[in-house]
Structure 1
Amino acid sequence: MSSGGETNGGAQGDRRAETLQRLMEVGRVHSGVTVMFHSAIAAKQGLNATEEKTLDLLERHGPLTAKDLARLTGLAPASVTGLVDRLEAKGFARRVKHPTDKRRVLVELDRQKIGELAVFFEDWARDIVAACEEFSTEELETAIRFLTVMAEAQRTAAARLSS
């Protein structure tokens, strides 16, 4: 039995294989449009998609060390250094001393500058809420569980590629 409760043989196995294939195809489409969406938003502010998503991480987690950013993004430490340099140069983030360990440095957002990005997400957020109306709460909870598992798998894959 698979974790989905279906056997791997016969018609059920065929259905599962077909469903997994469709899932992979839809996942590729979703990934592509997600990258394009974030690239378009980033371009509006003179950023690239990696910079824009790093700002999202800082928004959600608060100030982070470069090591934290490397772990969360899957980027190599040297890449994170260049990324933070670019975000600082563009005025979106700054390096500050850690409040309790003066040997460590945190990367924090410039709250005023980051506010300029919020307007680009407002229409999108309304569209998402409207699209979710066709799904039950249980279906949305399944989607959340699936996306959480997939995000961790992708984070692991990115870290593997960066090492």
Structure 2
Amino acid sequence: MTEADAKRAETLRHLMEVGRNHSAVTVMFHSAVAAKQGLNATEEKTLDHLQRQGPLTAKDLAELTGLTPASVTGLLDRLESKGFVRRAKHPTDKRRVLVEPNQEKLAELAVFFEDWARDIVEACEEFSTDELNTVVRFLSVMSERQRAAAARLTG
């Protein structure tokens, strides 16, 4: 193994370690935010999808979350009973239902992310725009790979 190969292997090992650490603290953060509103992490991340993408069908949510249709039904029942979503008739397909987020309830969650958003902006000040673009590219690739890995596990 060349010195360059050894250095790359060590960097990849370190990246995996840091990535696992980041994943763990991310899950703990979202679990803590969710708990503040009587939600679990899956419910909170489902609301994130609805907030970012607008009303979705249960099928859309199953694809985004990797949950089975039966699990999505239970998830939506819980979110609806807690007042976070409502089911509405689909405007063009009477057989389908759209899940709409309750914007007032979502605003209650947003408060918990305000400090974190400020922390992100502050932390990013030490990186150049090119470095941040590399991070964006890396995270985008890793998100797609992880989405595919989750699909393999649930499919």
Q: TM-score band, normalised by the shorter chain?
A: over 0.9
Q: Which residue of 1 aligns with 2:98?
A: 106
- Distance (Å, rounded) in 2 between the aligned partners of 1:122 and 1:108: 23
Match status 1:151 vs 2:143: yes
Percent of aligned positions that are identical: 75
**2:123 is aligned with 1:131:** yes
- Superimposed CA distance per residue, residues 47-85 of structure 1 (whole angstroms, 9 cap, x where no aligned partner): 000100000000001001111111111112221111111
Gaps of 5+ in 2: none
Separation in 2, partners of 1:79, 1:161: 15
Q: Which ranges of structure 1 fall in alignment gaps of 5 or more residues?
A: 1-8
Residue deviations 1:124-158 (CA, integer Å, cap 9, x gap)? 10000000000000000000000011111111111
1:92 deviates by 0.3
CA contact (8 A) 1:39 1:48 kept: yes
Match for 1:52 among 44, 51, 72?
A: 44
SS in 2 for 1:95: strand
Distance 1:135 1:110 in 2: 37
Deviation, 1:30, is: 0.2
Separation of aligned partners in 2, 1:154 and 1:120:
26
How far apart are the structure 2 equivalents of 1:17 and 1:70? 37
Q: CA RMSD in A?
A: 0.8
Contact 1:75 1:162 in 2 (8 A): yes
Letter in 2 for 1:73: T
TM alignment of 1:59-98, pairs within 5 A: 59-98=51-90
SS of the residue 1:103 aligns to: coil
Distance in 2 separating the partners of 1:130 and 1:146: 20
